[in-house]
């Protein structure tokens, strides 16, 4: 990495290099306003006010008589500790008293958030930004202690924090420091291991694995020592569950001089009023969403639920999710069931009684509760697995592959379909990349406690036998039955095994019967790059080199992963060059952008544009709004939402409008999302603000200077959430310019297209989880975040630009732009389908295209017959994609002339009745084209596989988006031409590169084709289940592997 960064650099110097080095050692995602914390819980408006006031007052005013610089905030699961810490961090930041934060998270993909390693460096990094004198002293400390990052926490705290504080304490002419250091979730900190926990032998007998308690206690001791130093001016707030290590550490009877205060959220603050506010707001939302009467819920219901909650926010949240995600019942019926359930149980002093009753009620709604709970325990066990070989099994498709007894069925949905309020079940399309997630860790606590879950409890031994039963079934499906067979008593034998021995890979090898042939193991080893294949099931067998069935395979597997496809390589004259990678702040900004998302990028060279003389009215209206503003200048709205169903030409309109604005000198910035793009920057939110800021810096020289200063002063801005990035990179520079009245007034447009195609950015490792209620982010979560960021920017008085957002009318956009959901209307809506009749534009387009076809194919001027264009326009129902697809069918027909193809399309139209569904004719056209393939079912399997691999986020799998690699995987005969045979008639739907263009990719003309294929109601008999697609890919994968042996 270093060689890449500093390659060919010379004669340079870096100022404050020590601070940059410190930043590299920090866990950026643990800071409260980081991008990774963008969806962290916050207190519901007007809730938890009292506790926040008390904590803030303690931070600002303190207690001069008996100063205690640490406050331990505790409470059981579900009492809202993290939400309070998040909201308090924001309040302290606004009040200028936030010195540093660190939010531990056992679910995070960043090891720095799961371990103690980066705690002190992250705190020091923030303190260096908090005060310039501290920054200078911390820089000197790093310079004088070059190996400080290899030292223990106590030493790091002394060198990086206490030493610098002691130095500036001698500066009598400077004001005293004060502020808060907020550390949340310390009970989620995992132990850092300093030796190989898999090694065995006499010399390791005394080296016990460190426990989580040991590292958590070490953190507490380091913070205690810091707080007792006279030069330490900050207040420390530590939030955690009341686990034993914390209870004993903060027990005043165990310390001669009490150094901390305790704040118990469950005992000292009545949460009933806050839970009432939360439930009232959520029931209002449910009424709007489900069209329920204002009299629902009945009087007294909220009070009953508040009483049942017993201060547990998780109870109220679970009730709302249960009502909102009911798969088979309306909310009214579900609520009645909850209330009846409550009436059948006696309240006790146990505050978790009603939560337990709710969990039992939901679990018992499953068709097979015992089996569902075994699935849940299996999911939790694999997601929280210690070993990498187990963690990689967490994606839903792999879990399903292991646990389902019949791959043709949908056992997962059958068992978990009623449990969506407890566990997030990814849609079939996303199961290969997304994990099952639990909303809250308290569910697992409940299931594991036999006294709480009663008859739903099952023994750990039974769970292990269940796992092994499903594991052996999966093994049997993955190989030839004649090569691997098991005696009838095998499962009974497993049931008698000691529990601990089953937990280790070596034990698997000892008890797994050896196959008659090792060839199938070799073929699986060849599939080493497929992290989500069945190989992960067998890899645990080879976890320990001492217990291999085939000793050479462990070495082969490990080496093959590192040197895949390498040959004739050597390393000589290896050198590291020095250089300054970010001499210019704008160069650093440029490195963070998604260049392909800009309207005139190379990636968008073939992006759709409006056909000449079409969409003129809508472009004129939008351009006039950009240049001339609103009809009501005293109440300007700076956002316009352009929407319409798939195929209405939104991207084409935005592309043409961007060019028009650029020609008119009023194009400030553009960003075109694309879910099909190989560039992750175009599929995710990550690069949005950076890309906009980059273009704004080129738009005006004053903005360029101010943005450059902002990047230089905020070196970690690209690790922050979108709100912070917008404030630092856009609003801050604009506000600075606004302070100078002699500078010209800015104006222009920021155009953002395809926001509905933005995919969720995940901040935790999708192959590991001990997620305490941590869910995979949904696409809608990131889309609403972007909308909120843009709304906040448009509301700033210094923000001069008009923002145009184009998207499909999905729920998240409809609700966000609904005037009834906001007290102040901030945006205009423009519906291409309702407000602009596209028929005239589609007519112009078809006339021009038929003229071109007549010239190309030397057809008579009487073709097409009279009335044909009008028929096609009527069939299009305002969908430009229908007309464009018809033309591509006529133009790319490989085996029939255009006249014959057009006649077939017209006959197809007469066999289908029109309906209110504007997509019916498009669906009929897609069906007609797909059925022209020699083998439609197999062609569709190819198309679905191409679609999935084209958008997969893993780099090794992204290589499969190359057409030649797809063909290598899917063709049964490498010497045949199955791709052309199956896809040759489908050139109007999919771009098929010539065979001599090796790096070229398959591409789809429009996303609506995939939408059609994934909707069983729309594509009818052509529909292929996702499970069948997975089976197809696995079959072809095994065939391809076998051909390589």
Q: Which of 221, 242, 268 is the last residue of a domain?
A: 268
212 CB-near residues (< 8 Å, 6+ apart) = 189, 190, 191
| Domain membership flag for residue 565 | no
Residue with token string 């260049």:
595
**Pair (673, 822) in one structural domain:** yes
432 CB-near residues (< 8 Å, 6+ apart) = 395, 396, 397, 532, 948, 952, 1030
Sign of the CA dihedral 1028, 1034, 1040, 1045? negative
- β-bridge pairing 827-831 and 802-807: unpaired
| Domain membership flag for residue 707 | yes
| Domain membership flag for residue 769 | no
| Domain membership flag for residue 189 | yes
How many of the other CB atoms lie within 10 Å of CB of 335? 22
pLDDT score of 64: 61
**Pair (387, 441) in one structural domain:** yes
Q: Is the bond preceding residue 864 a cis peptide, omega within 30 degrees?
A: yes
Looking at the DSSP bridge assignments, the partners of residue 489 are none
| 692: containing domain | 594-619+636-759+776-835
The three-point CA angle 984-990-991 to 5° equals: 90
**Pair (417, 480) in one structural domain:** no
Spatial CA neighbour of 893 closest among 1030, 775, 998, 989? 989
**Pair (871, 1016) in one structural domain:** no
Give the integer Cα–Cα distance in Å for 1005 and 1012. 13
| Domain membership flag for residue 10 | no
346 CB-near residues (< 8 Å, 6+ apart) = none
Assess contact for 699 and 705: CB atoms under 8 A.
no
Give the integer Cα–Cα distance in Å for 910 and 545. 68
pLDDT at 500 exceeding the cut of 90:
no
Q: What are phi and psi of 762, to 5 degrees?
A: -95, 135
Spatial CA neighbour of 54 closest among 240, 247, 263, 233? 263
- Positions of E strands within 947-1006: 990-991, 1003-1004
Q: What are phi and psi of 71, to 5 degrees?
A: -130, 125
Average pLDDT over residues 914-934: 82
- β-bridge pairing 70-74 and 235-240: parallel
| Domain membership flag for residue 1021 | yes
What SS3 state is found at 730? helix
Judged by average pLDDT, the poorest of 669-673, 894-898, 944-948 is 894-898
Judged by average pLDDT, the poorest of 400-414, 475-489, 717-731 is 475-489
Give the integer Cα–Cα distance in Å for 891 and 850. 10
pLDDT at 510 exceeding the cut of 50:
no
Give the integer Cα–Cα distance in Å for 797 and 104. 37
**Pair (544, 397) in one structural domain:** no
Confidence of residue 486 (pLDDT cuts 50, 70, 90): very low
**Pair (334, 426) in one structural domain:** no
> 966-971: long-range contacts at Cβ-Cβ below 8 A with a sequence spacing of 24 or more?
966/1002, 968/1040, 969/945, 969/1033, 969/1036, 969/1037, 969/1040, 970/942, 970/945, 970/1036
Order of strands, sheet of 667-672, starting from the edge strand that comes earlier in the sequence: 667-672, 749-753, 802-807, 639-643, 827-831
Judged by average pLDDT, the poorest of 202-216, 683-697, 759-773, 911-925 is 759-773
Whole-number Cα distances in Å, 613 to 330, 617, 656: 49, 10, 11
pLDDT score of 675: 84
Assess contact for 895 and 985: CB atoms under 8 A.
yes
**Pair (724, 826) in one structural domain:** yes
Q: Which of 73-82, 227-236, 677-686 has the highest mean pLDDT?
A: 227-236
What SS3 state is found at 695? helix
| Domain membership flag for residue 511 | yes
pLDDT at 441 exceeding the cut of 70:
yes
Give the integer Cα–Cα distance in Å for 447 and 457. 6
Q: What are phi and psi of 749, to 5 degrees?
A: -120, 140
pLDDT digits (tens, 9 = 90+) for 836-868: 878 888 998 899 889 889 888 889 999 999 999
pLDDT at 308 exceeding the cut of 80:
yes
Spatial CA neighbour of 677 closest among 990, 432, 945, 951? 951
Confidence of residue 499 (pLDDT cuts 50, 70, 90): very low
Two tokens, residue 230:
């006279």
Average pLDDT over residues 544-566: 36
Residue with token string 């926040």:
52
Give the integer Cα–Cα distance in Å for 927 and 940. 11
Give the integer Cα–Cα distance in Å for 145 and 160. 9
Give the CATH number of the domain where residue 732 resides.
3.40.50.300
The three-point CA angle 882-952-880 to 5° equals: 10
Give the integer Cα–Cα distance in Å for 667 and 467. 59
User: How does DSSP classify residue 148?
Assistant: G
Give the integer Cα–Cα distance in Å for 527 and 515. 19
Give the integer Cα–Cα distance in Å for 807 and 757. 8
Confidence of residue 178 (pLDDT cuts 50, 70, 90): very high
How many of the other CB atoms lie within 10 Å of CB of 527? 16
Judged by average pLDDT, the poorest of 122-126, 720-724, 857-861 is 857-861
Helix (H) or strand (E) holding 260: strand 260-264
Give the integer Cα–Cα distance in Å for 814 and 643. 10
**Pair (719, 819) in one structural domain:** yes
Higher per-residue pLDDT: 452 or 494: 452
683 CB-near residues (< 8 Å, 6+ apart) = 673, 674, 675, 677, 757, 758, 759, 951
Q: Is the bond preceding residue 297 a cis peptide, omega within 30 degrees?
A: yes
Structural domains in the chain (count): 7
pLDDT score of 608: 83
Confidence of residue 893 (pLDDT cuts 50, 70, 90): low
**Pair (172, 250) in one structural domain:** yes
Taking the alpha carbons at both ends of the chain, their separation in whole angstroms is 35
Q: Which of 932, 947, 974 is the last residue of a domain?
A: 932
Give the integer Cα–Cα distance in Å for 85 and 70. 14
Assess contact for 68 and 258: CB atoms under 8 A.
yes
Give the integer Cα–Cα distance in Å for 468 and 835. 60
Average pLDDT over residues 463-490: 57
**Pair (111, 214) in one structural domain:** yes
| Domain membership flag for residue 1 | no
pLDDT digits (tens, 9 = 90+) for 748-805: 999 999 999 999 887 665 445 454 555 678 899 999 999 999 999 999 999 999 999 9
Q: Which of 364, 384, 401 is the last residue of a domain?
A: 364
Confidence of residue 545 (pLDDT cuts 50, 70, 90): very low
pLDDT score of 170: 84
- Considering the entire predicted model, what is its pTM? 0.68
Give the integer Cα–Cα distance in Å for 476 and 493. 18
pLDDT at 949 exceeding the cut of 80:
no
What SS3 state is found at 164? helix
Assess contact for 26 and 122: CB atoms under 8 A.
yes
Judged by average pLDDT, the poorest of 505-514, 713-722, 792-801, 991-1000 is 505-514
**Pair (452, 505) in one structural domain:** no
Looking at the DSSP bridge assignments, the partners of residue 260 are 70
- β-bridge pairing 802-807 and 639-643: parallel
Share of the chain above pLDDT 70, in %: 78
Judged by average pLDDT, the poorest of 201-210, 389-398, 962-971 is 201-210
Confidence of residue 550 (pLDDT cuts 50, 70, 90): very low
Phi-psi category of 96—alpha, beta or left, where left has phi over 0 and alpha has psi -120 to 50? Answer: left
**Pair (978, 895) in one structural domain:** no
Share of the chain above pLDDT 90, in %: 35
């Amino acid at each position: 990495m270093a060689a890449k960064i500093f390659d060919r650099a010379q004669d340079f110097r870096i100022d404050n290099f020590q601070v940059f080095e410190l930043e590299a050692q920090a866990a950026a995602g643990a800071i409260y306003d980081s991008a990774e914390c963008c969806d962290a819980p916050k207190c519901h408006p007007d809730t938890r006010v009292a506790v926040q006031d008390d904590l803030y007052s303690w931070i600002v005013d303190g207690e001069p008589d008996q100063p205690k610089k640490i406050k331990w905030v505790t409470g059981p699961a579900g009492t809202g500790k993290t939400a309070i810490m998040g909201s308090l961090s924001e309040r302290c930041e606004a009040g200028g008293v936030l010195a540093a934060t660190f939010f531990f998270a056992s679910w995070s993909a960043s090891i720095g958030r799961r371990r103690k390693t980066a705690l002190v460096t992250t705190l020091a990094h923030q303190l260096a930004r908090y005060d310039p004198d501290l920054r200078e002293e911390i820089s000197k400390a790093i310079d004088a202690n070059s190996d400080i990052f290899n030292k223990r926490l106590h030493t790091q705290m002394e060198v990086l924090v206490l030493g610098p504080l002691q130095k500036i304490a001698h500066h009598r002419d400077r004001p005293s420091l004060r502020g808060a250091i907020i550390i949340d979730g310390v009970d989620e900190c995992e132990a850092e291991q300093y030796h190989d926990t898999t090694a065995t032998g006499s010399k390791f007998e005394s080296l016990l694995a460190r426990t989580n308690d040991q590292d958590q206690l070490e953190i507490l001791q380091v913070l205690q020592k810091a707080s007792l130093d006279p030069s330490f001016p900050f207040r420390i707030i530590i939030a955690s569950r009341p686990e034993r290590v914390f209870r004993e550490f903060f027990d005043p009877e165990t310390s001669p001089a009490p150094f901390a205060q305790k704040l118990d959220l469950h005992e000292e603050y009545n949460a009933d009023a806050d839970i009432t506010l939360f439930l009232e707001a959520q029931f209002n939302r449910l009424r709007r969403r489900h069209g329920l009467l204002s009299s629902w819920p009945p009087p007294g219901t909220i009070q009953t639920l508040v009483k049942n909650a017993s201060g547990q926010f998780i109870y109220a949240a679970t009730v709302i999710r249960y009502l909102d995600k009911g798969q088979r019942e309306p909310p009214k019926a579900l609520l009645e069931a909850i209330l009846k359930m409550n009436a059948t149980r006696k309240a006790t002093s146990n505050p978790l009684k009603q939560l337990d009753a709710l969990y039992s009620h939901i679990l018992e709604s499953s068709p097979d509760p015992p089996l569902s709970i075994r699935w849940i325990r299996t999911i939790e066990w694999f997601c929280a697995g210690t070993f990498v070989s187990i963690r990689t099994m967490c994606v839903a498709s792999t879990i399903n592959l292991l646990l389902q007894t019949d791959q043709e069925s949908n056992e997962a949905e059958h068992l978990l379909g009623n449990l969506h309020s407890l566990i997030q079940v990814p849609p079939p399309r996303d199961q290969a990349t997304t994990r099952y997630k639990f909303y809250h860790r308290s569910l697992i606590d409940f299931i594991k406690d036999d006294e709480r879950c009663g008859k739903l409890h099952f023994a750990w031994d039974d769970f292990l036998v269940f796992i092994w039963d499903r594991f052996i079934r999966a093994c049997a499906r993955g190989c030839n039955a004649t090569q691997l067979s098991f005696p009838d008593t095998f499962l009974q034998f497993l049931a008698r095994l000691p529990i601990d021995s089953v937990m280790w890979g070596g034990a698997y090898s000892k008890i797994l019967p050896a196959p008659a042939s090792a060839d199938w193991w070799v073929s699986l080893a060849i599939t080493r790059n497929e992290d989500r294949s069945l190989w992960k099931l067998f890899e645990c067998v080879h976890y320990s080199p001492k217990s291999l069935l085939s000793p050479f395979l462990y070495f082969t597997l490990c080496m093959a992963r590192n040197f895949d496809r390498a040959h004739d390589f050597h390393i000589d004259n290896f050198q590291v060059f020095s250089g300054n990678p970010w001499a210019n702040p704008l160069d650093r900004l440029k490195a963070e952008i998604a260049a392909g998302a800009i309207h005139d990028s190379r990636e968008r060279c073939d992006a759709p544009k409006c056909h000449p003389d079409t969409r003129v009215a809508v472009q004129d209206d939008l351009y006039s709004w950009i240049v001339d503003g609103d009809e009501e200048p005293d109440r300007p709205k700076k956002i316009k939402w352009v929407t319409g169903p798939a195929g209405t030409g939104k991207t084409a309109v935005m592309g043409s409008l961007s060019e028009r604005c650029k020609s008119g000198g009023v194009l400030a910035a553009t960003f075109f999302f694309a879910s099909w793009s190989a560039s992750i920057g175009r599929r995710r939110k990550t690069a949005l603000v950076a890309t906009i800021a980059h273009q704004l810096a080129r738009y005006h020289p004053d903005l360029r200077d101010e943005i450059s200063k902002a990047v230089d002063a905020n070196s970690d801005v690209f690790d922050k959430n979108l709100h912070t990035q917008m404030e630092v990179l856009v609003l801050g520079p604009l506000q600075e310019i606004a302070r100078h009245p002699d500078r010209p007034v800015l104006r222009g447009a920021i155009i953002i297209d395809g926001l509905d195609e933005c995919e969720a950015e995940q901040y935790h490792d999708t192959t590991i989880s001990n997620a305490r209620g941590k869910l995979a982010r949904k696409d809608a979560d990131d889309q609403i975040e972007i909308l909120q960021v843009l709304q906040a920017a448009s509301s700033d008085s210094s923000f001069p630009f008009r923002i145009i957002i184009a998207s499909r009318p999905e729920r998240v956009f409809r609700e966000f732009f609904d005037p009834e959901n906001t007290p102040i209307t901030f945006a205009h809506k423009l519906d291409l389908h309702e407000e602009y009749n596209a028929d005239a534009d589609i007519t112009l387009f078809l006339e021009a295209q038929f003229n071109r076809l007549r010239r190309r194919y030397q057809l008579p001027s009487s073709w097409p017959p009279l009335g044909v264009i009008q028929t096609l326009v009527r069939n299009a129902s305002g969908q430009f994609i229908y007309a464009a697809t018809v033309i591509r069918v006529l133009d790319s027909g490989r085996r029939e002339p255009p006249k014959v193809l057009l006649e077939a399309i017209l006959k197809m139209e007469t066999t289908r009745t029109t309906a209110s569904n504007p997509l019916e004719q498009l669906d009929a056209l897609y069906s007609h084209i797909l059925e022209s393939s020699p083998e439609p079912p197999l062609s569709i399997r190819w198309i679905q596989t191409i679609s999935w691999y084209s958008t997969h986020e893993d780099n090794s799998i992204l290589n499969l988006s190359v057409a030649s690699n797809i063909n290598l995987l899917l063709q049964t005969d490498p010497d045949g031409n199955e791709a052309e045979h199956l896809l040759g008639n489908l050139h109007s739907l999919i771009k098929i590169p010539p065979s001599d263009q090796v790096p070229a990719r398959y591409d789809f003309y429009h996303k609506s084709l995939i939408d059609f294929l994934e909707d069983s109601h729309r594509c009818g008999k052509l529909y292929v289940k996702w499970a069948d697609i997975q089976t197809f890919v696995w079959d072809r994968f095994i065939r391809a592997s076998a051909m390589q042996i």
